[in-house]
Amino acid sequence: MGNTPSTAVQQCLTNALGGNQALLAHKDTPLYQLAHVKPYNLDIPITPAAVTYPQTAEQVAAIVKCANDFSLKVQPRSGGHSYANYGIGGTDGAIVVDLKNFQQFSIDKSTWKATIGGGTLLGDVTKRLHDNGNRAMAHGTCPQVGIGGHATIGGLGPTSRMWGSALDHVEEVQVVLANSTIVRASQTDNPDVFFALKGAGASFGIITEFTVRTQAEPAESVLYSYSIQVGADARRKAAAFKKWQALIADPTLSRKFASQFVLSELGVIITGTYFGPQKEFEALNITARLPHNDESVIVLKDWLGVVSHWAEDVALEITGGIPSNFYAKSLAYTKDDLIPDAAVDKLFDYIDGTDKGTPVWFVIWDLEGGATNDVPPDATAYGHRDALFYHQAYAVNLFGRVNDKIRDFLTGFNQIVTDALPGHEFGAYAGYVDPALGQAGASAYWRGNLPRLQRIKAAVDPKDVFHNPQSVRLVK
């Protein structure tokens, strides 16, 4: 049938959308790729059979029924920021369910639980919670990311050490399953589905609505950064990393302290937030524990100002919401996976001495741990409850497809770390999806939870309707 849906499929989808053809796009629709498919990673071209824009959960269910009837695959799209474009179908010929119309929001001011539509972007989540009682929840720093994917993969961010991941805030969902039923899922209703959605959501259903617990916004926050500018030699940058790693490995480190070590062509920036007053921050004596060239400390009492500041960091300025040709890899580190000093030296020598194939690259080591580690590893599908920190290595080709030189640079970078810690089982974060992992990605993303996820998949999606190249597979 190719990548244009047959007349019968088009008619089914049109009917599913209440006859409103404005809510349906396909290959023959003008500007289909640019205006409707909207790939985030231009290096991985995908042509879905159709992009749909339902307005109700019932319409989502009817779209899923069409997919079932015509043996097509389905993937939901919230913000569309998947590194491998899984949110735009995952594979050619799939149906995309774009949730942009699901913007409902309410908050119960007796319980402070919020109801949030599955298509809401994180920037809007922040604003709506703030405007309705100065509330907040943990999530990442990119305002263009959608909650639908973010809170079903993990959803890590600066407040996660205090409050847990975004998915740890989720207490109930409304979800459309593969058999086109609309159900509620929580710890008590459809608990297996709820388990799977909290970490592997795109493999199991389309969430149209989240019910989340919220937190009071911090009254005061300290934003800090310490910079080592371009031109510093490898040894100086390696010494800075060793100090940072020693700091974040301290088991007594306050959960109010968030931190990133960002390495790029511009040099090193150690940056983060302390969620408390300046006197508490100063008592941590962070300045003495980190290299403090070009020190900057800003105190903010405006929560929206704090969140918008995160969106201005160096990595997001490089990537932001702009589609590009890029490649990314990640590793999850536990407290037992600290990089030995000799390997740190080797890593920074490698970075300085390797032709990366592009000037636009960065590596972020991101402190996690804290409250995200309090949850048992088998309580949700999220597979990294022991992660102390992650790194994400990312490179952009400004002039076309990602080439082997760029891929080899990032692969070699990861290899130095894994070679330095033989016998350690490093995982990868499903939010930084890596197509190069192939089906091995399932084990890297979900680790010991994968067998249970496969059993749930067989029970609730036996035809593998919700499918992308690295989704949970049925066991044959």
CATH number for 176 = 3.30.465.10
Q: Judging by DSSP bridges, how do beta strands 50-52 and 95-98 pair with one another?
A: parallel
**Cβ-contact 72, 78 below 8 angstroms:** no
Say if residue 92 is in the same domain as residue 111: no
What is the pLDDT, as a whole number, of residue 1? 40
**Cβ-contact 96, 75 below 8 angstroms:** yes
Residue ending a domain, choose from 67, 98, 129? 98
Residue ending a domain, choose from 64, 98, 132? 98
| 234 in a structural domain | yes
Say if residue 189 is in the same domain as residue 111: yes
| 406 in a structural domain | yes
DSSP secondary structure string for all residues of 359-413: S-EEEEEEE--GGGGTS-TTSSS---TTEEEEEEEEEEETTSSPPHHHHHHHHHH
94 DSSP 8-state letter: P
Say if residue 149 is in the same domain as residue 189: yes
| 305 in a structural domain | yes
Q: Give the pLDDT means over successive 10-residue stretches in the chain (476 positions).
A: 70 97 95 94 94 98 97 95 87 96 98 98 97 97 94 96 98 98 98 98 97 97 86 87 96 96 90 95 90 80 87 58 88 95 97 93 95 97 96 92 96 96 90 89 94 98 95 90
Is the alpha carbon torsion for 137, 139, 143, 149 positive or negative? negative
Say if residue 242 is in the same domain as residue 254: yes
DSSP secondary structure string for all residues of 281-343: HHHTTHHHHS--TT-EEEEE--HHHHHHHHTTSHHHHHSTT--BEEEEEEEEEETT-PPPHHH
Beta bridge partners of 391: 331, 365
DSSP secondary structure string for all residues of 248-263: HT-TT--TTEEEEEEE
| 466 in a structural domain | no
- Integer Rg of the chain from CA: 22
Say if residue 164 is in the same domain as residue 308: no
Say if residue 334 is in the same domain as residue 401: yes
Nearest to residue 277, comparing CAs of 218, 216, 224? 218
Say if residue 198 is in the same domain as residue 226: no
From CA 302, how far away is CA 262, in angstroms rounded? 25
| 471 in a structural domain | no
What is the pLDDT, as a whole number, of residue 216? 98
Query: What does the angle CA 113 – CA 119 – CA 120 come to, to the nearest 5 degrees?
Result: 55
Show the domain range for 154: 105-217+445-460
| 185 in a structural domain | yes
What is the pLDDT, as a whole number, of residue 230? 64
User: Contacts from 100-106 at CB under 8 Å and sequence distance 24+?
Assistant: 100/53, 101/53, 101/54, 101/55, 102/148, 102/208, 102/209, 104/209, 105/132
Residue 354: Cβ within 10 Å count = 13
Q: Residue 433 corresponds to which tokens in the numbers above?
A: 């999806």
**Cβ-contact 259, 270 below 8 angstroms:** yes
What is the pLDDT, as a whole number, of residue 423? 87
CATH number, residue 322: 3.40.462.20
- Cross-sheet strand order for the sheet of 50-52: 24-26, 50-52, 95-98, 74-77
| 450 in a structural domain | yes
Q: How many structural domains does the chain have? A: 3
Say if residue 297 is in the same domain as residue 227: yes
| 437 in a structural domain | no
93 DSSP 8-state letter: T
Say if residue 143 is in the same domain as residue 66: no
Say if residue 275 is in the same domain as residue 410: yes
What is the pLDDT, as a whole number, of residue 229? 73
Say if residue 230 is in the same domain as residue 204: no
- Of the CA atoms within 13 Å of residue 173, those in its CB half-sphere come to 28
Say if residue 406 is in the same domain as residue 257: yes
Buried b (16+ CB within 10 A) or exposed e, 249-271: eeeebbebbbbbbbbbeebbbbb
Residue ending a domain, choose from 71, 98, 125? 98
From CA 68, how far away is CA 178, in angstroms rounded? 8
